[in-house]
Amino acid sequence: MIEIRKAADRGHARHGWLNSHHTFSFAEYYDQRHMGWSNLRVINDDTVQPGEGFGTHAHRDMEIISYVLEGALEHKDSMGSGSVIRPGDVQVMSAGTGVRHSEFNHSHTEPVHFLQIWITPKFSGIKPNYQEKRYSQEEKRGTLRLVASPDGGDGSLTIAQDAKVYAGLLDGAERIEHAIAVGRHAYLHVARGELTLNGQALTAGDGVKISDETMLTLSDGNKAEVLLFDLV
């Protein structure tokens, strides 16, 4: 099964300083048909205006991944972690027993555009943890680069769930084939650009629920950047 949800069908919230599109139900946007997919609970496509951001707030028992598309995102948390991440950086915060953090646009002149992703953990009450790593364009060009996994394999960041997160760039004649194990689910999010998945056309912001498929073929890319989630 390949079920496409077009970008325009997502939830949308505009708060002046924040323009956010919700792939799944979040905050004031609620749709019982879109509560998540397997252990993938949130994909928020956020654009934050210069100098603005999310003030200090709390999370627990959630794997939170930030993926910057444009600009610079500043993070601070109660674990003492502080960083500014930019395109190519991937950040994982395992909230575990509880953590407080803030996220702000580091720039006072340019917006920051990023994806915030939540994956429900396999275990509750784990010790909070923060990680980040940079993955170059060359590592993602014409392939799916593993950026998060349960065992930290292939230089990926570690998450507390049986899920793998891949990032890829696709353009022109580049073609990617990716096998999905029998019985597992997947979700593809098009962060930007255009491409086809198993012959079906996708554009920026589109998402695809995938089940009962064993091979995915990504092709016909036009400046495409994608995230693929391999899920139970």
The predicted structure's pLDDT at residue 59: 97
Question: In the CATH hierarchy, which fold is given to the domain comprising 2-231?
Answer: Jelly Rolls (2.60.120)
| Torsion angle in degrees (nearest 10) through CA of 185, 189, 195, 196 | 20
d(CA 87, CA 68): 5
How big is the CA angle at 109 (ends 104 and 111), to the nearest 5 degrees?
55
Tell me which H or E stretch contains 18: strand 18-22
Q: One-letter amino acid identity for 33? A: R
The predicted structure's pLDDT at residue 151: 97
The predicted structure's pLDDT at residue 46: 98
d(CA 119, CA 122): 9
N-terminal to C-terminal alpha carbon distance within the chain: 15
Contacts of 187 (CB under 8 A, 6+ apart): 37, 38, 40, 207, 208, 209, 210, 228, 229, 231
pLDDT tens digits along 57-71: 999 999 999 999 999
pTM over cut 0.95: yes
The greatest distance separating any two alpha carbons of the chain, rounded to the nearest whole angstrom, comes to 48
The predicted structure's pLDDT at residue 101: 97
Q: Where are the domains of the chain?
A: 2-231
Q: Which residues of the chain have a pLDDT value below 50?
A: none
The predicted structure's pLDDT at residue 21: 98
The predicted structure's pLDDT at residue 173: 97
Q: Where are the alpha helices (DSSP H) in the chain?
A: 137-140
